[in-house]
Amino acid sequence: MKKKSNIIITGVRGFVGSNLFEYLLDNNWEPISLNLRNTNWKSEIDNESTAIIHLAGKAHDLKNSFNPDQYFDVNTKLTQELFDVFLESNCRDFIFFSSVKAVTDKAEDIVKEETVTNPQTAYGQSKLQAEQYILSKTLPQGKRVFIIRPAMIHGPGNKGNLNLLYQLVSRGIPWPLGSFHNQRSFCSIDNVCFVIQQILERDDIPSGVYNLADDEALSTNELIELIVSTTNKKTKILNIPKNIINTIAELGNVLYLPLNTERLDKLTESFVVSNAKIKAALGIEKLPVSAKEGLVKTIKSFI
C-alpha cells in the first residue's frame, strides 16, 4: 500500500507522542519526529509535510517545583515560534495539544469550548496564551488550525494518577476517599489517535478549538470499583470525613506526602468535559472506545 504524507510530530518521547507516532505509522502515514531542543530545529522541518502536530511542552507539575517562567518559555514561546514557521511553510494543518486546564482549574459546570477561560496556574495560563496567539493570526488560504483540549489522557504505558490508584488497590489498601462524590472525564489514547487521524484524512473538518474526552464521565469511586473488578483484587472504600482528609492533604503540601491538596483535587474533584463539538464535526454519535473499555485496557496494562 502506498505511503501517505509526512506528518511532523513534536514530543514523540512523551506518552501521547509515542503512541500517536506508532498509530500513524501503523495506518500508513510517515510520521517524523521533530526535537525542539535542537537549536537548529527550524531547518529540520520538512516543508512539504501535510501537518505539524505539536505535543511537546512542560507538563503540569504536581509538586510545584518548576519556576513559572519555564511554562511560558516552553508552552507559550516555543509554540509561537513553531506556529510562525508553520504559517510560512507548505504544511496544511497545525494541530496544537493544549489542555482543559487552559480553560479552568476547577469546573463547576460542564466544560465546553465556549466556557469562559480563567486558568489560575502558570501551566494553564501558558497553554491559554499559546492558544490566543494562534487564534490571533490570519490563516493563509488552504491552511487549518486545530487546538485540542484533552481531558486526562490515559492508556497502556501511562504512569499517572491511574497507576497510583492501581498500586493502591493491588496492595489491598482501602480507598480512603469514599466520602467524595464526583464525576470526571477521561480520555483514552485510542480515542485521541482516532480523532487525529480523522482530522488528517478529511478536508471537511473546520479549524477551531475542540475539547477531547471519552463519551462518559465516571466517579473516582466507580473507577476504584472498575480496578477491583478488572484485577480481581479486594479492597474497601472508606467514607472518612472530608475535613480529616483535607487536613492530611494540607500537611502533604508541607511534608511532601503522597497526598497533597492538588493531588486530592485531581482524585476527587468533578471535572466533566463535553466532546459534543468534535463528534459533530466528525459526524459521529460516539467515539470508538467507551470510557470503561479504555480504562480497563489501561488497568490491564498495569498488571
User: CATH for 6-150?
Assistant: 3.40.50.720
**Exposure b/e, 148-162, CB count within 10 A at least 16 = b:** bbbbbbbbeebeebb
| The C-alpha cell that represents 15 in the structure block | 506518552
Q: Name which of 235, 67, 217 is nearest 151 in CA terms.
A: 217
Whole-angstrom Cα distance, residue 187 to residue 214?
5
| The C-alpha cell that represents 165 in the structure block | 490508584
Contact 258, 176 (CB under 8 A): no
| The C-alpha cell that represents 65 in the structure block | 517545583
Record the pTM.
0.91
What is the full per-residue pLDDT of the chain (303 aa) written as tens digits?
456 789 999 999 999 999 999 999 999 999 999 999 999 999 988 888 999 999 999 886 555 556 788 999 999 999 999 999 999 999 999 999 999 999 998 888 999 999 999 999 999 999 999 999 999 999 999 999 999 999 999 999 887 778 888 988 888 889 999 999 999 999 999 999 999 999 999 999 999 999 999 999 999 999 999 999 999 888 889 999 999 999 999 999 999 888 899 888 878 889 999 999 999 999 999 999 999 999 999 999 998
| The C-alpha cell that represents 213 in the structure block | 474526552
Whole-angstrom Cα distance, residue 299 to residue 303?
7
Q: Name which of 97, 102, 87, 91 is nearest 52 in CA terms.
A: 91
